[in-house]
């Protein structure tokens, strides 16, 4: 089990399970002389119990802080004894496996299945809460422990989330080793390729395979995709709509999981488990500010759990979060002027271009654009949002009520409104002026003018996203089988308001009327409003689903009972897009002509999974899933795995599987392209050009975005292999290797740069002259990714100085081989532009009422982007010694104090050393948007009152 930030443990077993899917009492189910634990602090009592019973108990120090135990004397089975020890504390223990328990707040009574194991257990007195819930984890549909899955699983607990200091789900997940963050600014502009912010989602993904290969779930159910189409045509899951205060834990299943959860899980699954069964209430307030006094944030959250008549419960939670924006001008390192690093000034000077030379525009003739300010050149990095401004309000309710003797009704409702504010540099580009325009270059009026519309101001967008999720269901037991039937609707509605774009029609009319001059003269507000009206984009995704799950035992085997899970799923997804009139008629400069549309699709699936304990030390599991996607047929995705424990201290595990992903509603559309004309290099393969340029070296062509009716699903193959070594209770080490190959990748074809590869995309007139090209999605790509993951845990407990815990979690990307077409060489991108290795480490100290955590994050070096990983370091970078961005280590400190009754106070300092990012890519603006921390040293104080 790998974790991002550790929680204190009395002890933990990362392996050691007597059988998968079935609970058996440990061999030493009752101590020989009985238990002798005196009354006192619960923490001390649990330590004594773990030592006397030789079991492992997992819990957070803050969970047991200020709680007392009445003690325990006498003989009893382990489960009963632990239940008695916890009686009256408000806590209960969850059986993780035969000798491992997880402490949680007491849930309300719920239906209980008859025991699945055939081992006889002594019954407890009626007053003892001896029934322990079963742990359900993301790695399987069969209820069993997270430590017993054949595929690696990371669990991030509530206490680890709190200790991290992160305030958004995006910030938490993007820093996990092996995950990549997709910043809202990058999503909105396609990595900076566009100046038209079409979306503003925040997402992340596993193993550099992009957001379309990672499936996000909330309580095991799919999220609705983000309502707007991103520039790379991806169907995204927006993480901004789920406040961290409402999350109980996060489970990350590494490796292909399409056989269990469906098409989108080629790289893995992120399952976000919300809080549910909690008694009492909690109010939390926090305030954060950077060392420079900016990027302020505030959060206020409250939750309460109540019991209803008949043994049911209600849990209510509300959250308000606000964070001020941070823009590039607030950080000195945010610039494309890299002369201090021995590189060039990449600011864009305003003027008329002749090849690589330019003539300054009027008003800038006597100024050096490399030395002067914004009036004569554009430093894009000074304007961009390093951290978007965000305001979020969320409400969540969970209700459950027993029905009959073996069933219960449950319902969830979650509503979130998120307002996200971002900005980019003022709109800029090359403008071809007519010869009679007074600002045209007199000797050569055909020269294009590089111009930034600084008078209009930055391109700004305010995106409001409303999420509405509702679920109702029935679950219960019949005999020894568990069943769950549910209906759900997920809605994601987005409205994007954009300021600062340029209306081409209005611009050239104003220029013809001499109302707008391309020089440094002032412009009236009326003219500015005319050429730059506000634009809007709207979209909504509605996902309706019905799910039925059944699981239970089949028969006995040498290692225990064989268990099976089967289920069926039906989904209907609807996508509605509502671009503004300017986007529809194509008047927005450098933007695609968009369509208003309504589309829908029905998908269905049946799936099954079985676990076979062949021996006390060996179990295998297998799963299959048949997906049927509207318009794309059906396909089976199989998966198989094993777990072998040859010795008590060593466990081996592995899995193989196949994946399948049909095109989404976002991908059966025209791709986004920018501009309606472009240039294509001439060759004999493309034949004569209708409009030759530069002595027939290139052709001027029209660009047309089209839908590909022959688009097919993507497929994948994945495998994982791992070892877990625990020579002693205090130390554990796990190492996992993964390999994923994705075929038939859906990519936007490169018909402009490599026209010979796409002859069907070339458009010719009746006489065979090339006049245009089509651009569309096609199944031409292939990616192979291989890597290693490491997790190490060591704990020390002293009588005088408290408890210490050290944890290390690392990822190494060994290969990232991409091929954009079957006839194009495959290239290895591992370590190119982003680090190929990352490590999260922590040192914790638990002393009396204090908890101190020192967190370390290491990022390896990354090669500078030269457009091709096979290109050797260019002369300018080699001369400056800047071929790779250096590695970096960030340090964070979290202090928590629980010595006051009902209160937990904490201070978090992130980026303790105030490390400033460094990036030698001259166009990156001084940092990596995916990996670096742009804020600097940051202070967050928090107070929680529990009642």
Strand partners, 228: none
Query: Mean pLDDT over all residues of the chain?
Result: 84
Q: How many residues does the chain have?
A: 947
- Joined together, the tokens standing for residue 164 give 């991290």
pLDDT at 666 > cutoff 50: yes
How many helices (H) and strands (E) would you count in the chain?
Answer: 11, 52
Confidence at 140, pLDDT banded by 50, 70, 90: low
Amino acid 57: pLDDT: 78
Amino acid 155: pLDDT: 85
Contact between 482 and 553 under an 8 Å Cβ cutoff? The reply is no
pLDDT at 127 > cutoff 60: no
Contact between 507 and 517 under an 8 Å Cβ cutoff? The reply is no
Strand partners, 462: 421, 497
Which of these ranges, 206-215, 355-364, 446-455, 761-770, has the smallest mean pLDDT?
355-364
Q: What is the rounded radius of gyration, in angstroms, for the C-alpha atoms of the chain?
A: 30
Q: What is the pLDDT of residues 872-889, one digit of tens each?
A: 888 889 888 999 999 999
Q: Mean pLDDT: which of 140-154, 175-189, 894-908 is highest?
A: 894-908
Amino acid 483: pLDDT: 93
C-alpha–C-alpha distance, residues 917 and 931, integer Å: 9
User: Which residue has tokens 């130390």?
Assistant: 731
What's the distance, Cα to Cα, between the start and end of the chain in Å?
A: 32
Contact between 68 and 39 under an 8 Å Cβ cutoff? The reply is yes
Amino acid 529: pLDDT: 92
Strands (E), 65-202: 68-69, 72-74, 91-97, 100-105, 153-157, 179-182
Tell me if residue 708 falls in helix, strand or coil: coil
Amino acid 75: pLDDT: 80
pLDDT at 3 > cutoff 60: no
Q: What is the pLDDT of residues 573-603, one digit of tens each?
A: 999 999 999 988 888 888 877 788 899 999 9
Query: CA–CA distance from 921 to each of 350, 834, 933 (Å)?
Result: 22, 11, 17
Would you put residue 695 in left (φ > 0), alpha (ψ -120 to 50) or beta? left
Give, to the nearest 10 degrees, the angle between helix 42-53 and helix 78-86.
170
Amino acid 65: pLDDT: 60
Confidence at 277, pLDDT banded by 50, 70, 90: confident
Contact between 460 and 534 under an 8 Å Cβ cutoff? The reply is no
Mean pLDDT of 617-630: 91
C-alpha–C-alpha distance, residues 112 and 487, integer Å: 22
Confidence at 139, pLDDT banded by 50, 70, 90: low
Mean pLDDT of 259-272: 84
Amino acid 438: pLDDT: 85
C-alpha–C-alpha distance, residues 746 and 160, integer Å: 37
Contact between 701 and 721 under an 8 Å Cβ cutoff? The reply is no
CA atoms within 13 A on the CB side of 945: 4
C-alpha–C-alpha distance, residues 264 and 659, integer Å: 8
525 Cβ neighbours under 8 A, 6+ residues apart: none
Mean pLDDT of 30-45: 74
Contact between 79 and 95 under an 8 Å Cβ cutoff? The reply is yes
pLDDT at 832 > cutoff 90: yes
C-alpha–C-alpha distance, residues 498 and 314, integer Å: 41
pTM of this structure? 0.83
194 backbone dihedrals φ, ψ, rounded to 5° = -125, 150
- Joined together, the tokens standing for residue 738 give 């993964």
Contact between 47 and 103 under an 8 Å Cβ cutoff? The reply is no
Contact between 72 and 33 under an 8 Å Cβ cutoff? The reply is no
Contact between 102 and 94 under an 8 Å Cβ cutoff? The reply is yes
Which of these ranges, 105-119, 137-151, 465-479, has the smallest mean pLDDT?
105-119
Query: CA–CA distance from 50 to each of 43, 56, 186, 797 (Å)?
Result: 11, 6, 49, 13
pLDDT at 233 > cutoff 60: no
Sign of the dihedral through C-alpha 318, 271, 133, 733: negative
What stretch of H or E contains 86?
helix 78-86
C-alpha–C-alpha distance, residues 296 and 389, integer Å: 10
Amino acid 544: pLDDT: 97
The percent of the chain in helix, strand and coil, each rounded to the nearest 5, is: 10, 50, 40
Confidence at 430, pLDDT banded by 50, 70, 90: confident
pLDDT at 649 > cutoff 70: yes
Amino acid 359: pLDDT: 83
Secondary structure (H, E, C), 11-77: CCCCCCCCCCCCCCCCCCCCCCCCEEECCEEHHHHHHHHHHHHCCEEECCHHHHCCCEECCEEECCC
Q: Mean pLDDT: which of 70-74, 194-198, 277-281, 855-859 is highest?
A: 855-859
Contact between 265 and 214 under an 8 Å Cβ cutoff? The reply is yes
Burial annotation 288-306 (CB, 10 A radius, 16+ → b, else e): bbbeeebbebebebbbbbe
**What are the residue ranges of helices labelled H in 438-580?**
504-512, 525-531
pLDDT at 241 > cutoff 80: yes
CA dihedral 419, 422, 426, 429 (to 10 degrees): -100
Q: Measured at the alpha carbon of residue 666, what is the angle toward residues 660 and 671, in degrees to the nearest 5?
A: 110
Mean pLDDT of 127-142: 46
Look at strands 407-426 and 458-478 and give their pairing: antiparallel
- Joined together, the tokens standing for residue 900 give 């006051």
Burial class of residue 864 (count of CB atoms within 10 Å of its CB; 0-12, 13-18, 19+): buried
Amino acid 550: pLDDT: 93
pLDDT at 97 > cutoff 50: no
Q: Measured at the alpha carbon of residue 542, what is the angle toward residues 541 and 543, in degrees to the nearest 5?
A: 120
Among 69, 73, 74, which Cα is nearest to 89's?
69
Q: What is the pLDDT of residues 848-859, one digit of tens each?
A: 899 999 999 999
Mean pLDDT of 33-49: 80
pLDDT at 7 > cutoff 80: no
- Joined together, the tokens standing for residue 890 give 């960030």
What stretch of H or E contains 932?
none
Amino acid 362: pLDDT: 74
Amino acid 665: pLDDT: 87
Contact between 187 and 930 under an 8 Å Cβ cutoff? The reply is no
Look at strands 837-847 and 827-828 and give their pairing: unpaired
pLDDT at 108 > cutoff 60: no
Contact between 903 and 944 under an 8 Å Cβ cutoff? The reply is yes
Count of C-beta atoms within a 10 Å radius of residue 655: 28
Q: What is the pLDDT of residues 837-847, one digit of tens each?
A: 999 998 999 99
Query: CA–CA distance from 812 to each of 426, 816, 888, 903 (Å)?
Result: 39, 11, 15, 41
pLDDT at 323 > cutoff 50: yes
Which of these ranges, 222-231, 333-342, 548-557, has the smallest mean pLDDT?
222-231
pLDDT at 265 > cutoff 90: no
Contact between 498 and 196 under an 8 Å Cβ cutoff? The reply is yes
Burial annotation 112-148 (CB, 10 A radius, 16+ → b, else e): ebeebbeeebeebeeebbbebbbbbbbbbbbbbbbbb
Query: CA–CA distance from 789 to each of 176, 519, 643, 730 (Å)?
Result: 11, 56, 18, 21
Amino acid 6: pLDDT: 31
C-alpha–C-alpha distance, residues 551 and 21, integer Å: 11
């Amino acid at each position: 089990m790998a974790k991002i930030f550790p929680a204190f443990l009395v002890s933990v077993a990362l392996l050691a399970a007597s059988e998968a899917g079935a609970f058996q009492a440990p061999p030493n189910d009752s101590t020989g002389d009985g238990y002798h634990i005196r009354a006192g602090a619960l923490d001390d009592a649990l330590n004594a119990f773990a030592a006397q019973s030789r079991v492992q108990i997992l819990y957070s120090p803050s969970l047991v802080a200020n709680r007392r135990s009445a003690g325990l004397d006498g003989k009893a089975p382990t489960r009963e004894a632990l239940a008695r020890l916890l009686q009256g504390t408000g806590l209960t223990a969850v059986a993780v496996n035969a000798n491992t328990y997880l402490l949680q707040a007491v849930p309300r009574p719920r239906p209980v299945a008859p025991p699945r194991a055939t081992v006889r257990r002594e019954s407890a007195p009626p007053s003892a809460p001896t029934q322990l819930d079963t742990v359900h984890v993301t790695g399987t549909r069969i209820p069993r422990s997270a430590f017993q899955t054949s595929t690696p699983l990371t669990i991030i607990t509530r206490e680890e989330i709190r200790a991290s200091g992160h305030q958004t789900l995006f910030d938490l997940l993007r820093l996990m080793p092996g995950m990549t963050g997709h910043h809202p600014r990058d999503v909105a502009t396609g990595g900076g390729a566009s100046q038209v912010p079409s979306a503003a989602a925040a997402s992340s993904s596993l193993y550099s395979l992009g957001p379309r290969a990672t499936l996000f779930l909330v309580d095991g159910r799919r999220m609705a995709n983000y309502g707007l189409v991103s520039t790379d045509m991806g169907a995204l899951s927006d993480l901004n709509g789920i406040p961290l205060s409402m999350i109980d834990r996060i489970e990350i299943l590494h490796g292909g999981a399409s056989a269990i959860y469906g098409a989108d899980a080629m790289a893995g699954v992120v399952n976000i488990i919300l809080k549910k069964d909690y008694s009492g209430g909690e109010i939390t307030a926090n305030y954060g500010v950077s060392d420079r006094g900016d990027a302020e944030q505030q959060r206020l959250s409250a939750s309460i759990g109540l019991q209803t008549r008949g043994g049911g419960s209600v849990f209510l939670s509300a959250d308000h979060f606000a964070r001020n924006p941070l823009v590039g001008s607030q950080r000195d390192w945010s610039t494309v002027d890299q002369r201090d690093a021995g590189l060039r000034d990449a600011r864009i000077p305003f003027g008329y271009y002749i090849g690589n030379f330019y003539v300054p525009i009027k008003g800038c003739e006597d100024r050096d654009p490399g030395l002067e300010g914004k009036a004569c050149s554009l430093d894009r990095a000074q304007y961009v949002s390093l951290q978007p401004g965000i305001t979020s309000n969320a409400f969540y309710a969970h209700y459950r009520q027993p029905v009959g003797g073996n069933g219960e009704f449950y319902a969830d409702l979650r509503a979130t409104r998120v307002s996200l504010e971002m900005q980019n540099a003022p709109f800029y580009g090359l403008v071809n002026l007519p010869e009679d325009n007074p600002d045209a270059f007199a000797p050569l009026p055909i020269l294009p003018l590089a111009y930034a519309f600084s008078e209009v101001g930055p391109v700004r967008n305010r995106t409001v996203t409303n999420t509405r999720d509702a679920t109702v269901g029935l679950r219960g037991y019949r005999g020894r089988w568990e069943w769950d039937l549910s209906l759900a609707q997920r809605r994601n509605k987005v409205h994007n308001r954009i300021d600062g774009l340029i209306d081409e029609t209005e611009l050239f009319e104003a220029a013809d009327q001499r109302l707008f001059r391309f020089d440094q003269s002032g412009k009236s507000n009326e003219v500015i409003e005319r050429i730059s009206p506000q634009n809007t984009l709207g979209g909504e995704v509605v996902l309706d689903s019905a799910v039925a799950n059944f699981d239970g035992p089949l028969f006995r085997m040498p290692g225990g009972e064989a268990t099976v899970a089967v289920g069926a799923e039906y989904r209907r997804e609807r996508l509605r897009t509502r671009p503004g009139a300017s986007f529809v008629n194509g008047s927005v400069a450098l933007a695609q002509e968009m369509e208003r549309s309504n589309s829908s699709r029905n998908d269905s699936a049946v799936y099954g999974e079985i676990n076979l304990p062949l021996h006390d030390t060996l179990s295998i599991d297998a799963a299959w899933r048949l997906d049927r996607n509207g318009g794309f047929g059906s396909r089976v995705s199989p998966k198989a795995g094993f777990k072998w424990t040859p010795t008590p201290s060593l466990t081996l595990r592995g899995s193989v599987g196949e994946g399948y992903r049909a095109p989404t509603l976002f991908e059966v559309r025209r791709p986004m392209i920018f501009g309606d004309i472009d240039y294509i290099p001439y060759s004999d393969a493309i034949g004569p050009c209708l409009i030759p340029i530069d002595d027939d070296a290139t052709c001027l062509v029209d660009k047309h975005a089209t839908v590909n009716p022959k688009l097919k699903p993507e497929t994948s193959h994945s495998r994982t292999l791992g070892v877990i070594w625990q020579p002693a209770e205090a130390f554990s080490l796990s190492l996992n290797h993964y390999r994923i190959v994705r075929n038939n990748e859906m990519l936007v074809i490169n018909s402009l740069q490599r026209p010979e590869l796409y002859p069907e995309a070339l458009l010719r007139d009746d006489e065979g002259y090339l006049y245009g090209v089509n651009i569309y999605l096609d199944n031409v790509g292939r990616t192979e990714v291989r890597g290693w993951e490491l997790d190490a845990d060591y704990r020390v407990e002293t009588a005088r100085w408290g408890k210490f815990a050290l944890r290390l979690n690392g990822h190494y990307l060994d290969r990232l081989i991409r091929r954009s077409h079957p006839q194009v060489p495959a290239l290895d991108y591992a370590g190119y532009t982003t680090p190929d290795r990352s490590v999260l480490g922590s040192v914790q100290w638990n002393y009396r009422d204090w908890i101190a955590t020192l967190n370390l994050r290491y990022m390896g070096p990354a090669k500078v982007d030269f457009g091709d990983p096979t290109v050797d370091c260019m002369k300018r970078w080699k001369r400056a010694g800047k071929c790779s961005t250096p590695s970096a280590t960030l340090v964070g400190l979290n202090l928590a104090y629980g010595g006051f009754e009902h209160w937990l106070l904490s201070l978090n300092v992130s980026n303790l050393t105030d490390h400033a990012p460094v990036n030698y890519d001259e166009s990156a603006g001084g940092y990596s948007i995916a990996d670096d921390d742009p804020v600097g040293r940051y202070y967050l104080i928090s107070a929680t009152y529990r009642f």
